[in-house]
Amino acid sequence: MAFMREQGEPRLRLDVAVQYYQKALNAFSALLTKPDSAHSDEILASSIMLSSYEMFDVVGQNFGSHLRGVASLLQLWQITGESTGIKGVVYWTWYRSDTWAALHAGRRMFLDERYWEPRAVESLDQLSPEEIANRAVFLLGQCISFCNDDVGPETPETVGGLAATRQRTSTKLWDALEQWKRMLPPSMTHHVVAQVIRDDQDEEEQADQCLRAVSSMLFLSPHCGKSTPTFNKGP
């Protein structure tokens, strides 16, 4: 990770930056052994900051190791997407990072719907844009896990069982995606644009052409869009 001056001159060499990173890891490990700090919000915030460094600068077999560690902390402290305060922020920040890492590595999510999933709702109208965006990211994580679910070859003892389980998972995921599409509020599914009105059109034609839904336009929540440029390391 490079640190640059305004004139473009390097402020820290790469090896120096790595040394600071190692010191941060050692300090973090030491804090985990202390009862008065092991369950603090500062530990959670530090863990997600260190895993963010990994997203930028770690490659090879070690890629994703910090995300696995954060997942273990979330499980140990029973932190979910419904947790409030810094705990909820860390969960969803971690989840967004793990979707990209899982997609990049071709693996399942470290934590999926078997650990926690959003509560069922009859409508998305009462949810905030952030909550709706989080549900979209959660569905993305489920799709990634399903596509990378390496169940292995069937054995005589499991003939038909693995296929049936995968089919049930596929049906459940498809139903969830269809339900998501049906429940999206109009503000996220339709966009109105102004059309050029000709003088020879009557009032009804003008009104119909003036306001027209563009069904092919995608709605991108800013809560989802931030992670895309941040973690896009290129081909």
Whole-prediction pTM: 0.73
Give the other-Cβ count within 10 Å of 132's Cβ: 21
Q: Which residue has the higher pLDDT, 231 or 53?
A: 53
Higher pLDDT, 128 or 16: 128
Per the DSSP assignment, residues forming a β-bridge with 11 are: none
- Which tens digits make up the pLDDT trace of 74-97? 999 999 999 999 999 999 999 999
DSSP characters over 212-223: EE-TTPPP--HH
Q: What is the pLDDT of residues 162-201, one digit of tens each?
A: 788 888 999 999 999 999 888 887 766 655 444 555 566 6
Neighbouring residues of 26: CB distance < 8 A, sequence distance ≥ 6: none
Choose among 69, 99, 73: nearest CA to 87: 73
- Cα–Cα distances (Å) from 209 to 95, 196, 197, 198, 201, in that order, read 43, 8, 7, 10, 10
Under a CB-based contact definition with an 8 Å cutoff, are residues 110 and 67 in contact? yes
Q: How far is CA 161 from the centre of its chain?
A: 31
| 68, amino acid identity | R
Q: Give the pLDDT confidence score for residue 92 in this predicted structure.
A: 94
Please compute the mean of the pLDDT values over residues 107-132 and round it to a whole number: 90
Better-scored residue on pLDDT, 194 or 31: 31
Sign of the alpha-carbon dihedral angle for 75, 101, 90, 44: positive
How far apart CA 158 and CA 132 sit, in angstroms, is 39
Helix residue spans in the chain (DSSP H): 14-32, 41-57, 65-76, 85-105, 129-147, 161-183, 203-210, 222-225, 227-231
Average pLDDT, the chain: 76
Residue 112 near residue 75, CB atoms below 8 Å: no
**CA dist., res. 52 & res. 231, Å (int):** 9
**pLDDT tens-digit map of 131-150:** 988 998 999 999 999 999 87
